[in-house]
């Protein structure tokens, strides 16, 4: 199973709102992520930094393609842009994949 990790920044004073929105994530977005083969999705934060990690049952490329083609993801990204700053990869339209440097199995 392929793994995907991303990072972003929460805007000053917006962490509580970021968390509230994720506590109320749209069911159609959850369904889309699951249909893309995304599982074990977790987001952490420290200060204003966010770190996200998920596993891709159908591969990273497939998960990225499903998300890039989804108006639901576009709508979510638009909804979130007032609370966070995300760098986007111009090729995939997703957050750039962080490079893995270590794994402990």
Q: Is 82 a catalytic residue?
A: no
Q: What's the full length of the chain, in residues?
A: 105
**DSSP per-residue string spanning 1-49:** -EEEEEEEEEPTT-HHHHHHHHHT--HHHHHHHHHTTEEEEEEEEETTE
Which of 1, 7, 20, 22 is flagged as catalytic? 22
Active site residues: 22
């Amino acid at each position: 199973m392929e793994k995907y990790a991303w990072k972003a920044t929460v805007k000053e004073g917006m962490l509580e709102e970021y968390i509230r929105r994720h506590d109320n994530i749209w069911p159609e977005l959850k369904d889309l992520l699951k249909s893309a083969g995304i599982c074990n999705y977790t987001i952490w934060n420290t200060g204003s930094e966010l770190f996200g990690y998920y596993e891709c049952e159908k591969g990273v490329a497939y998960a990225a393609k499903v998300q890039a083609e989804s108006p639901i993801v576009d709508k979510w990204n638009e909804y979130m842009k007032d609370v966070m700053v995300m760098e986007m990869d111009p090729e995939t339209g997703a957050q750039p994949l962080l490079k893995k440097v270590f794994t402990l199995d």
